[in-house]
Amino acid sequence: MVYKLFYYPRNASWAPHLVLAEMGVEFELILVDRKSNQQKSHEYLALNPTGRIPTLVDKDLVIFESAAICLYLCDKHPESGLIPSAGSPLRATFYQWLFYLNSTIQPELMVYFYPQKHTAGENTKEIVQAQELRVTEMFSLIDKALEGKDFLVGESISVCDYFLFMLSHWASGFAQPPLAFKNLGAYLRKLAKRDVVKSVCEREGTDLGIYADQMD
């Protein structure tokens, strides 16, 4: 079994890429060049009609949306332990945080990065400023939830951790970036030490230098 992940570096494909690497399964990376708008090409739209990245292909099955891809992979590979067992209280906590990350923080970040899509006017500065404050408050909530914890859910790595790492990195340019929070910052630096994170970032050409002050 060889999965195909259509990706672009540091795009929303980052979390599924990390999950695939953590699972240790065979997969092929296929670059979708956003610089040339390849995600809007006829060929890619035939595969993923949303014209967005990522897309996962598993034989004849095609899946888009990062969270859906990750949950599908967890169902296919329950031995990976990247999702708590069904029926456990941690499973509910896992769903809570995954949906908060995917359906609350990520869309708010999209407004921050693409404010022109959310106004008919030309002045987008106020939108950007408001969004940065909103998302910073969300990271503050997560910072409190991480107090005394190595992982967002339970005692081991999960899909939620890789989602949070991705979104936190996107917000690294904030006036108060995720790394500036006591608990969240320490958590992100620990994640950046993981061999899986290092290998995926190297493969995508992502510099982990911002986490270096406490890295080995």
Cα(69)–Cα(51) distance, rounded to whole angstroms? 16
Instruction: List the chain pLDDT tens, one digit each, 216 residues.
Output: 699 999 999 999 999 999 999 999 999 999 999 999 999 999 999 999 999 999 999 999 999 999 999 999 999 999 999 999 999 999 999 999 999 999 999 999 999 999 998 888 888 999 999 999 999 999 999 999 999 999 999 999 999 999 999 999 999 999 999 999 999 999 999 999 999 999 999 999 999 999 986 544
- Outline which parts of the chain fall under CATH 1.20.1050.10: 89-205
Whole-prediction pTM value?
0.95
Q: Which CATH number fits domain 89-205: 1.20.1050.10, 1.10.10.10, 3.30.70.1070, 3.30.1120.10?
A: 1.20.1050.10
Please report the pLDDT score of residue 1 as a whole number: 66
Which CATH class for the 3-80 domain?
A: alpha beta
Task: State both tokens at 32.
Answer: 């979708």
Q: Give me the helix-helix angle, 182-192 and 159-170, nearest 10°.
A: 110
Please report the pLDDT score of residue 120 as a whole number: 82
Please report the pLDDT score of residue 215 as a whole number: 44
Contact 116, 138 (CB under 8 A): no
